[in-house]
Amino acid sequence: MEAAIKKSGKAKKKRRFTGINCLQLLTLAGLLGYMQYAVSSGKVSKIFLATPTSIVEEGVEIMTSGLLWPHLLLTIQEVLTGYLLAAVVGVTMGLMWTLFPKTEEYANVFCAAIMAIPKTAILPLLILWFGIGFKSKVVLVFLFSVFQILYNTVTGAKQCRTEFLKVASVFKANRFQTVFHVIIPSALPSMFNGFRLGVTTALTGVIFSEMQSAKAGLGYLLAESQQLLNTPRMFFLIILVTLISVVFVKVVAMAEFMFCHKWRRV
């Protein structure tokens, strides 16, 4: 009995390859196999679906020809610039609101109003103001992610346990010490939640705006391949942006791990 308990405990830790995993793999293989069969046999038009092999071929092709890299680089630059700007502004504003509640009272209504605008609706205006290049993309990415970071920072800071604030007060911590040694650390998990949400929407923002109007970027490439009816390339680009999104989320998760893992009960 005891041995059985020990064994099952061990299995959980090691994450053994189970029957469910087999089934999942089979499903995936079946799906890919069907795609391959349906398209190559002509049952489904090449315009609607692509064979896995053609997707891989297309990917290799645009990577080796060098077509992909400038677009990829530009998109990443746009998204990182906008996102980092949003992180800095969101966190700074969130802390300012917590430090000086009057500023929140004043600014909250404006932020709420801007947040309520579907961001995609102001893209045409942004293009008029900033052109179809780098700037309008950065601004859109910024708008896409800044509110998630701002409001998560504010919420986190407000959720600081009153006991912690009492401790700070009893030890005569000044405002600066209270913010940096008590409020920010206790708000970190919530702030990282905002960073994580913000990074995925940032990518959504950049792809969308590049698809609408741009001269380069992954979104532009995607829209172009649709017009050229290059379905394998569309599939490849969708997979690529998904991977980028996964990598971004992972990077945020790693940063969170570095800052919070030691003391948070996982």
Positions touching other proteins (CB under 8 A) are 161, 163-164, 166-174, 177, 181-182, 185-186, 188, 260, 262-265
Q: Which two tokens stand for residue 75?
A: 């998109």
Q: Which two tokens stand for residue 42?
A: 């002509």
Q: What is the DSSP letter of 252?
A: H
In whole angstroms, give the CA distance from residue 256 to residue 23: 33
Q: Are 149 and 94 in contact (CB under 8 A)?
A: yes
CB nearer other proteins, residue 78 or residue 256: 256
b/e burial code for range 109-138 (CB count within 10 A of at least 16 → b): eebeeeeeeebeeebeebbeeeebbbebbb
| Nearest-approach distance from CB 175 to other proteins, in angstroms | 11
CB nearer other proteins, residue 103 or residue 169: 169
Q: Which residues contact 6 (CB under 8 A, 6 or more apart)?
A: none
In whole angstroms, give the CA distance from residue 134 to residue 255: 27
| Nearest-approach distance from CB 251 to other proteins, in angstroms | 21
CB nearer other proteins, residue 43 or residue 166: 166
Q: What is the DSSP letter of 261?
A: T
CB nearer other proteins, residue 85 or residue 260: 260
CB nearer other proteins, residue 2 or residue 163: 163
b/e burial code for range 175-190 (CB count within 10 A of at least 16 → b): eeebbeebbbebbbeb
CB nearer other proteins, residue 45 or residue 159: 159
| Nearest-approach distance from CB 259 to other proteins, in angstroms | 9
Q: Which residues contact 99 (CB under 8 A, 6 or more apart)?
A: 175, 179
Nearest CA to 201 out of 154, 150, 236 is that of 150
Q: Read off the amino acid at residue 97.
A: W
| Nearest-approach distance from CB 138 to other proteins, in angstroms | 33
| Nearest-approach distance from CB 166 to other proteins, in angstroms | 6
| Nearest-approach distance from CB 195 to other proteins, in angstroms | 17
Q: Which residues contact 155 (CB under 8 A, 6 or more apart)?
A: 190
Q: Which two tokens stand for residue 154?
A: 């504010």
| Nearest-approach distance from CB 154 to other proteins, in angstroms | 19
CB nearer other proteins, residue 188 or residue 216: 188
CB nearer other proteins, residue 15 or residue 172: 172
| Nearest-approach distance from CB 89 to other proteins, in angstroms | 25
